[in-house]
Structures are given as structure tokens and as C-alpha cells.
Amino acid sequence: MLSFKVKCRFSCIRFERHLSIRKSSTIGDALSTNIDRNLAQNQILLDLKQNLTFQKEENDNESNVPQLTLIEHDTIVSKRLPRYRSMKKYCDPFQNIPQLAHNLHTTLTSPGVHYQSDPRTRWPNYDPSLLSIPHIDELKMDKIGSFTPSSKDNKLLSIATKHNLKNTKQKKFIKYFSSTSSMTSLLIKFHKMLSNDRPINTSMFSKSFPQKTSFTSTSDIPTSLVVTKKSHDIYSVDADRSVDTEITLSILGNALELMLTKSPTEFQKYLKSNEDEPEVDESAYHYARIGKFMVRSQLDAVDSRLPGTGTFDIKTRAVCAIRMDLAHTDYFPTNYEITKTYGVFESFERELFDAARIVMFKYSLQARLGNMDGIFMAFHNIKKFLGYQYLPLSEIDNIFFGDYELLGNNYNYPALEKKSNDRSDDEVNKNNQEKLQNIVDDFHNNYQTKREALSSFVADHELRFSVELLTRLLDIITKELDGKPFRVMFKKMKRRSPTTDKDVETSSYDSIVCVVNLLSSQSLAELQMMAKDRLEENKHLTKDLIYEDMTPSERIKFFNKYVSEFKQKYFSLNNSIMQANGDKLLAYEITVKHYFNDVECQEKHPFPTVDFLDHTKNQRWDLEYEINMINNLQEKNYLYNKMIKDIAFNAFRETEGVDIDVYTEDGVKYDENASIFQNMTRAYSAKATKRSACKY
């Protein structure tokens, strides 16, 4: 069976290689839409040939080498699954955590959406200062807190060291530490593997939206992590930052959080036009561990009215007109607004639907890892805030793990049976009585049904399974590389038919494949370089501009202008890493099987029953896994090149005509270089401009 599996696995990969150009629709989307598809494919192939090293012929010495070598085969037993443990003694005190200002705390205990201003009367529901977001060039950016990578956070290493000194048992040691922002992209891939791409629950959205129940393709972009040894058997796990660029949303994010948690008078001190010095903006952090893994989470806000710790995350979410047209809105900010609750455009529903398919799962992971109650979402168009919604973590869990088959498998059919000639009246009445009693008994606590509580139970277990799988994989790699720094790239691989480029149904779940390469000190520095530092390194490109005098908006436009140069440097860097590694490149494949009460799950999307909520029933959910080493050098080179290519074409997207003003006095001009969606949102922006000039 193993040899058959191996042959199928790699015949599919080889075939996928021949189809890589045919399947590059997502890459083609990154190019200008008016370019002929064949020309785009030829350009992609040219880039790959110029910048990546392909091994074109089979190595004769590998003919007798097995494709896979089993490295580890074990079962993670539910009773021994590491628990989430908050490290309270190291967490920052609650008095260091800010609270929402402007009376926004009222949204936390009021379910649903909340408009910043009433669309009909235009009367502000919250402080009018929120209707005027300052431009990024007007902010004292040096006074606003910035992100600190975990590898450069001395407190993380100090906590891990102190913890290990006080715990003599090996199973309680901390071996790895990271931040939630570095971890979430990878954990999404583990979710997709463990759940076998479980569909998103979109039942709360109206019929106006397409019946899309999957994550967007961005979730399939490979995740790249950099692992470095910090002291005796303690490693930092950081996101690979070699593709980071400065964008308006990332620069503005921390400032918007300050705007929501500071009084208008205090926030004014963060503007260059104000001579007063603001308070020191220091972030508060929560520390937790799952087994040998410690994670740092930033605590954005707290409110005593919320259950548990009362802490929650603040997410400032730009409207779709900005997210889908980012480069153009850097030059010409949009006036797109939210004017209604439901609808395809200008609605809260549009923003929540997009969030569910793109970032909501990431939000839930950050909240769960930080022991938070939920997420406060603040929607804006960069010029002003448009509305707010608080989503408890339990509600987000219901989106990704919710199961509404409360009254039977066919929950979308009438719940109660009608009398018929096929069944006796007594039998129908008995079944209907059972269903009615199910309704009566369907509650787990004062705010959740059993199915809703089960979704949180599954989300919690899946996270712990994911972290434990990652820990065991990293243990193998760190031992193999003897503590040297390395980069590991992950991708969830879909199985392909060897005779067609379409996905095929299979009883086996998809796998996660990772490629590992050693890093020299120079390569390590480049992979951990922040976007601003990378700009300084390339300041020779600015020509007539002096780096020190560049404003944030000028830096953003600089990145957009020279995106092809940065992509070329990225390819060159990774080509040199490949050449330096030679035959030292490592690759692994992770596969899993779910067992409920010792019975292998045969369902397409594994999911326990509500009986698992009853702790007296001693239910078991175990995860059997295999970690296999990929031996074939050609396959490892292919996987390396494929992941580098996918990352590059997602990060460095070249666009045309983004600096051309399409807005006119009467409306907007159709832009053939823009997508249909971009043209439409620009029209809605022009509509908002006209609407604002109307009298009541």
C-alpha cells in the first residue's frame, strides 16, 4: 500500500508540473487583465527560467532511492493532547490594556451592525471625530507602536528560559516561541487539512451573494517561516518577511486602533500639526503555551462587561473598494461608503461575507491564542469610519464549524413529518415528538445551542492538534539540522488525477508538504528584514528622492513603482539559497486520519457528535499521523521552486495605470486595465461623492 501511495503521489506531482502553466489562473489574475492569456503564461515561464533553478533531468543516482521514507508514525491521543495554558504570571496587567473610547463600548453587548452615522439623516451615532481619519503623512509615526518580530523580542526568550528553569519535566519545557501574526497563516493550512476543506457556514447571508462556501485562493499561497536557535534548545519561529512591502493599511492600522481607544484630544497629539507630546504607546501582551510551543498575543482592548478575561482584538477593516483596488486608491482615495445592512455593494453584509472567506478564520485564531472573548470590527474607507460590529469568538466558530443539522440530516426540509400511507400515525407522531423534545433540550449554556457549543469544542481541539503536529515536525527538522537556522515553506497539496488537471474526489485527506533549507547569516538577515529597512537598502532606486525625506505615502508609491525590481531581487535571493543548499534541501509530507472512539472516520469532513460535549461519556477523538521524508531531489527542487513562484506572484503584483485619475465631474471613466469589480466600486465611489452633495 505504501509503495502504491508513493507512486501515485509523485506521479500526480510530476503531472502537476506539466500543468503548472495551465493552472496559473491565479497568477494571471495578478497581471493586467488586458494582456493576452498566452502572453501572460509565456511571461511567467520566462520569469521562472530566468530566476529559478530547475533540475530538468532525472538524477541517475536516484533510480533506486525510495520516493518516501517514513520518519514518524504515531497517534495523538485526545487524553494526552496538550492543553492551552495561559501564562498569567508573565502577562501584562489589565490596567495596561486600553478600553474603547467614544461610547463604542455599547456595541460590545449589542449584537449586530452599528452605523457610525445614520445613512438617512446623516446624524452621527458616535463621536464626529471618527468621521475624519488623518492621512498617514500627517501622523507622528515614530510615536505610534510598531510590530516587534518574536525573534527580536527579548522578553519571549526570557519567559521561555525562566519557565524551563522552574520545570524539570521535559514535557513541560518550552522549545519554540512565536507571535500570533506569524502563526495564523500556517494554522489555516492545518485547518484545511484536518477538516478536509470543510465548507464555510454562509447560511446567515442573503441570497444576493453567490453560494461560495470556501476560502479564497489566497489561503493556498505557501506559508514561509524562519526558525532560529536563540539559546539552549529554544527556537524562535518568525514569518518570512522577504516579501513584506509597506501598504497604506498596514501603516495606518496601529494609528486607527489608537483613534478608537483615545479621546479626540489625546489622539490629536499624535498628529504632526500638534506640538504636544503624546503618551508612550506601549502594547500589552498575553502569553500562552500549548505543549512545547509558546505564543505571544497583543491585547488591543478590554471591557469588564465581557465574560472571561474581557479582552478582545480590534480589527480595522477597509471596505472592499480599497482592498480590491489597493494600488489605485493609494493615488486616488475612494469615497465608497456603507449605506445599508444587506446587499451586494455598500453594505455590511458585503464586508462580512468577504471577511468570512478571507480573514475571519485568522481573526478567530488570534483571539483563541490570546484567550480573548472576540473581535471588534471597525469598517472604514481610509477617510472615515463607517460602522462597527462585535463578534464573539463563539459566533465566529459557528461560521467555520457550525452545523445546523439539529433536527436531522435534512435540516432544510420541513422539521416535522406529515402523515402518510407509508407509515403508521403512531410512528409519525413518535418521531415528531422526539424532534420537538430535541428543540426543547437543545441548549448547552445560556447563549449557545449544543451544535454551536460543539463548533467551539472542535475549533479548540483542532488548534491543539495543529500546534502539536507542528511541534513534532519541527522537532524532527531541528534534530536533523543540528540547531542551524532554517526556513520552512508549507503548502497544502491537493491530489490531482494523472489524466486530467481537475481535482478528484478521494477518501484520503489532502496532505501538507513542506520544504526546508538551511540559511546563511546573510540570507537569514534578508529574510527577517522589515519592509522599511529593505527600502533603505534599495534607496539607490529613488534617484531624485532622498530616503530620509520620503513620507510614508511616497514609500508606498516607491514600492509600487519598482515592484518588478523587488520581485527580481526576491528570485535572486532564493536562487542563491537553492544553490547554497545543493543536495541538502529537505522536504516532508504530513498526512492524517481521524478516529472517533477508536473507529476511523469515513466522512468527507470529520466532525464529532454532540455526545463529545458530555464529559461523563468518555468520548475519544484521536489523530493518527505520518511524517514522511521526500527523497527525490528533483521533486524537492520542483516543490521549492513552485512555492517560491507562488509566493512571489502573490506578493509582487505588477499593475498598470494605477496612477491615472478615472474620476470625472460627472462620474467615472471605464478603465480597461482594471477588473470588473474595480470599475464597479469606483463607480460607487463617484456615486457617494454625488450623494454627499445632495440636500436632505
Helices assigned H by DSSP within 121-229: 154-166, 180-194
Residue 288 or residue 61, greater confidence: 288
Q: Alpha carbon 689 to chain centroid distance?
A: 33
- In this predicted structure, the answer to whether residue 44 has a pLDDT above a threshold of 70 is no
Single out the residue of 412, 138, 103, 101 nearest to residue 257, CA to CA: 101
DSSP, collapsed to helix, strand or coil, labels residue 68 as strand
Cα distances from 143 to residues 147, 277, 293, 301, 401, in angstroms, run 13, 9, 32, 19, 41
Per-residue pLDDT at 337 exceeds 90: yes
Q: By the 8 A CB rule, do 490 and 222 touch?
A: yes
Residue type at position 142: D
Distance CA 691, CA 119 (A): 11
Contact 631, 69 (CB under 8 A): yes
Distance CA 650, CA 638 (A): 18
Q: How far separated are the first and last CA of the chain, in Å rounded? A: 74
pLDDT mean over 11-23 = 37
CA-nearest of 559, 547, 30 to 245 is 559
Q: What pLDDT sits at residue 33?
A: 38
Q: How far is CA 651 from the centre of its chain?
A: 14
Tell me the per-residue pLDDT of 144-169, one tens digit each, with 9 for 90 and over: 988 889 999 999 999 999 999 988 77
Of residues 560, 694, 512, the one with CA closest to residue 119? 694
H/E element, 374: strand 374-380
Report d(CA 550, CA 226) in Å as an integer. 30
pLDDT attached to residue 422: 80
Look at residue 18 in the predicted model and tell me its pLDDT. Answer: 37
**Residues 306 and 376: beta-carbon distance below 8 Å:** no
**Is the separation of the CB atoms in 647 and 25 below 8 Å?**
no
pLDDT at position 243 is 86
Most distant CA pair in the chain, distance:
88
Has residue 519 got a pLDDT over 90?
A: yes
Cell digits of residue 603: 466522512
d(CA 259, CA 232): 42
Give the type of residue at 490: F
pLDDT of 90 reads 96
What are the beta bridge partners of residue 73? 626
Cell of 368: 483563541
The pLDDT value given to residue 24 = 36
Long-range contacts, stretch 110-113, CB < 8 angstroms, 24+ apart: 110/390, 111/390, 112/389, 113/341, 113/348, 113/387, 113/388, 113/389
Other beta carbons within 10 Å of 377: 24
pTM of the model: 0.86
Strand-pairing partners, residue 596, are 599, 621
Q: How does pLDDT run across 313-323, given as a tens digit for each residue? A: 999 999 999 99
- pLDDT computed for residue 60 by the predictor: 45
Q: Measure the CA angle with vertex 573, ends 569 and 576; round to 5°.
A: 135
Spatial distance between the Cα atoms of 182 and 314, rounded to a whole number of angstroms: 18
161-170, long-range: CB < 8 A, 24+ apart: 161/231, 161/234, 163/87, 163/289, 163/294, 164/234
What pLDDT was estimated at residue 65? 62
pLDDT-based confidence at 273, cuts 50/70/90? very high
Burial (0-12, 13-18, 19+ Cβ within 10 Å), 310: middle
Q: What gap in Å lies between CA 545 and CA 70, rounded to an integer?
A: 56
Question: 532606486: which residue's cell?
Answer: 541
pLDDT above 70 coverage of the chain, percent? 84
Helix (H) or strand (E) holding 514: strand 511-518
C-alpha–C-alpha distance, residues 617 and 500, integer Å: 47
Backbone angles phi, psi at 311, to 5 degrees: -85, 155
Cα dist from 374 to 62, 190, 311, 367, whole Å: 52, 22, 8, 6
DSSP for residue 142? G
Residues 6+ apart with CB under 8 A from 691: none
Nearest to 104 by CA among 2, 257, 245: 257
How far apart CA 40 and CA 27 sit, in angstroms, is: 9
Q: What is the rounded distance in angstroms from the CA atom of residue 690 to the CA atom of residue 663?
A: 12
Cα–Cα nearest to 352, from 523, 201, 472: 201
DSSP 8-state class, residue 260: H
pLDDT at 20: 37
- Grid cell digits, residue 680: 464597479
Q: What percent of the chain has pLDDT over 90?
A: 61
Q: In the sheet that 385-392 helps form, which strands lie side by side, from edge to edge?
A: 113-115, 385-392, 374-380, 311-318, 301-302
- The whole-number pLDDT of residue 108 equals 98
What are the DSSP E strand ranges found in 17-115? 68-76, 84-86, 113-115
What is the distance between the alpha carbons of residues 540 and 547, in angstroms, rounded to a whole number?
Answer: 9
Residue with cell 451573494: 209
**E-assigned strand segments in 220-283:** 223-231, 234-239
- pLDDT at residue 658, as a whole number: 82
Q: For residues 409-436, give the mean pLDDT.
A: 76
Q: How many CB atoms lie within 10 A of CB 35?
A: 14
C-alpha pair distances (Å), 515 with each of 178, 222, 631: 20, 10, 12
SS3 label, residue 375:
strand
Taking alpha carbons only, the member of 300, 290, 317 closest to residue 261 is: 300
For residue 681, give the C-alpha cell: 466600486
pLDDT in tens, 94-150: 999 999 999 999 999 999 999 999 999 999 999 999 999 999 999 998 899 888 899
Number of C-beta neighbours around residue 4 at 10 A: 8
Q: Cα(605)–Cα(621) distance, rounded to whole angstroms?
A: 14
**How far apart (Å, rounded) are the C-alpha atoms in residues 349 and 352?**
5
Name the β-bridge partners of 624.
75, 593
